Amino acid sequence: MDLQETKAAVLAQIDRRAGEALDVAKHILNTPEPGFREQGTSRFVAQKLSELGIPFEDGLALTGLKGMMTGGKSGPTVGVFGELDSLIVPGHPFADPETHAAHACGHHTQIGSLLTVAMGLQAPGVLESLAGRVALLVVPAEEFIEIEYRDGLRSQSKLEFLGGKSEFVKLGVMDDVDIAMMTHTENQDWRYTPGTKLGVGANNNGMIAKRIQFNGVASHAGGSPHLGVNALNAANIALMAIHAQRETFRDDESIRIHPIITKGGTVVSSVPADVRMETFVRGSTIESYMAAGKKVDRALRAGAMAVGASVDISTIPGYTPLAQDETLTEIYVSNAAQLVGADKIARMGHRSGSTDMGDISQIMPAIHPYVAAATGKAHGNDYVVLDYELAVTTAGKAMAMTIVDLLFDDAQRANSIVRDFQGGMTRSGYLSWLRDIYSEETYTE
Ligand SMILES: [Zn+2]
């Protein structure tokens, strides 16, 4: 088979089996589990990989899996990610009634598109004609949530980092992967020309996270507040002080700081003595969000000092900015255009959200296209995937065709992309950079 015949075989196989991958996505929609708790989803995907006869490892970063498909000749390895995790969004129409876990970011479709790739490449004669391997990277915990819970797993040495892809890098899961890709959903009603199906080339903010605890002194809130130190007042002043930094951030830094109070006191009749917060500090460059993080620390400290409380600040490494490989993007676009039409593909600019695909993009050539398959507000209680065919079938087809291009002809295209990659960081440099971000500080009057 020549290149075009190989792609045609992949597409025909996907058309035959598309229903199975759609069923997988819809099953996962109804069994949502947040990051590092995806045991049921992990078992379900393991069963699907077994049914496809694909060898895999499991238990990676607690719930992750890695399947491997091997071509006819040796060559580089292309990894395809599918994220296992949900968010927690009470009131979402597909939320778990007890845990409120809900797929409000569309990750359930990613497992579908990953299995679509796998089934397509199983078309007779396809793998034999490729030089290299395809790693199916079923990864936990893209959403950086439940920081206290994950920090607990860290103190039990079950994790070192709080995002799934960083853990994959640390565990060596990515050591034999040379190029990576995945597809994420987006809202159909996005800012591009109406009817746009796909977006490529976005660069996303990076971020760090902070866990904060204000420590005051409890006393009778009515009878003797003068004997107490009000940690909630410290937190309120700190929040105002953070807001007072905002005019100092440049537009091109795209700084986003969005704290929440996770504990506001203990009982209403006591002066709050233990008040806890979490926040992200995001920005378009590492330098910008690290500098903004220092301003946040200053503001937190000011809140504590104002009322005579103390504050503990834990700084936690998050995700690096996303930088997508341009050559890989063009190969992807040439294939996706055959599926949706070139005029339905948007060139995306900067995005102020973050993803741990950013981390992967710093250490190897990577792409993270978006498919406009959903309606509602991402991470909101109305974010629902409408166009499963686009999110699962078309997304899978475009990635599978791209993989054929990369690994055909003795993997010439993949090899040249790997050779030309000007990565931000080496893998070991990346890990030591993350470790250096961890810090614990206490400020007392
Ligand atoms: Zn997401």
**Ligand 1 centroid distance, CA of 374 (Å):** 12
Which residues make beta-bridge pairs with 345?
198
Banded model confidence at residue 318, pLDDT cuts 50, 70, 90? very high
Give me ligand 1 centre to Cα 318, in Å: 15
Q: DSSP states of 203-227 as a string?
A: EE-EEEEEEEEEE-B--BTTT-GGG
Q: If you measure from the C-alpha of residue 107 to the centroid of ligand 1, how many angstroms do you get, rounded to a whole number?
A: 6
Q: How far is the CA of 349 from the centre of ligand 1 (A)?
A: 17
Q: Minimal CA–CA distance to 424: which of 288, 292, 282, 323?
A: 323
Neighbours of 141 (CB within 10 A): 29
Residue 210 has pLDDT above 90, yes or no: yes
User: From the CA of 141, how far away is ligand 1's center (Å)?
Assistant: 10
**Confidence tier at 191 by pLDDT (50, 70, 90):** confident
Centroid of ligand 1 to alpha carbon of 222 (angstroms)? 46
For residue 423, what pLDDT is reported? 80
Q: Quote the DSSP letter at residue 270.
A: B
**Ligand 1 centre and the CA of 131: distance in Å?**
31
Cβ(358)–Cβ(420) below 8 Å = no
pLDDT of residue 190: 83
Cβ–Cβ contacts within 10 Å for residue 89, how many? 21
Please count the other Cβ atoms lying within 10 Å of the Cβ belonging to residue 80: 30
Determine the average pLDDT of the residues in 128-140.
98
Percent of the chain exceeding pLDDT 90 equals: 97
Each residue's pLDDT tens digit, 51-89: 999 999 999 999 999 999 999 999 999 999 999 999 999
Helix 427-437 vs helix 164-171: angle between axes, to the nearest 10 degrees?
Answer: 130
Whether pLDDT at 322 is above 90: yes
User: Ligand 1 centroid to 301 CA: how many Å?
Assistant: 33
Distance (Å) from CA 288 to ligand 1 centroid: 23
Taking the centre of ligand 1 as the mean of its atom positions, its distance from the CA of residue 108, in whole angstroms, is: 10
Calculate how far, in angstroms, residue 5's C-alpha sits from the geometric centre of ligand 1.
34
Could you tell me if 136 and 53 are in contact, meaning their C-beta atoms sit under 8 angstroms apart? Answer: no
* Distance in Å, CA 95 to ligand 1 centroid: 16
Q: What is the spatial distance between Cα 327 and Cα 365, in angstroms, rounded to a whole number?
A: 9
For range 172-192, the mean pLDDT: 94
260, burial (CB in 10 Å: exposed 0-12, middle 13-18, buried 19+): exposed
Whole-angstrom distance, CA of residue 131 vs CA of residue 390:
28
Q: Cα 315 vs. chain centroid, distance in angstroms?
A: 19
Closest of 358, 411, 415 to residue 182, by C-alpha = 358
The CA distance from 209 to 259, in Å, is 10
* pLDDT confidence bin for 424, thresholds 50/70/90: confident
The rounded Å distance from CA 373 to ligand 1 centre is 13
At 366-387, the pLDDT tens digits run 999 999 999 999 999 999 999 9
C-alpha of residue 271 to centroid of ligand 1, in Å: 39
Instruction: Look at residue 157 in the predicted model and tell me its pLDDT.
Output: 96
Task: Examine the pLDDT at 192 and tell me if it is beyond 90.
Answer: no
Cα–Cα distance, 48 to 114 (Å, whole number): 11
- Among residues of the chain, what percentage have pLDDT more than 70? 100
DSSP letters for 223-237: T-GGG-B-HHHHHHH
CB contact at 8 A, 370 and 222: no
Query: In the structure encoding, which two tokens stand for residue 16, read together?
Result: 């035959």
pLDDT for 21 equals 98
CA of 354 to the centre of ligand 1 (A): 9
**Residues 6+ positions from 79 with CB-CB distance below 8 Å:** 134, 135, 136, 137, 174, 177, 179, 180, 181
Per the prediction, the chain carries an average pLDDT of 97
Give 261's strand partners.
277
Tell me the whole-structure pTM to 2 decimals: 0.95
Q: How far is the CA of 256 from the centre of ligand 1 (A)?
A: 17
Q: Which residues make up the environment of ion ligand 1, defined by Cβ < 5 Å?
A: 105
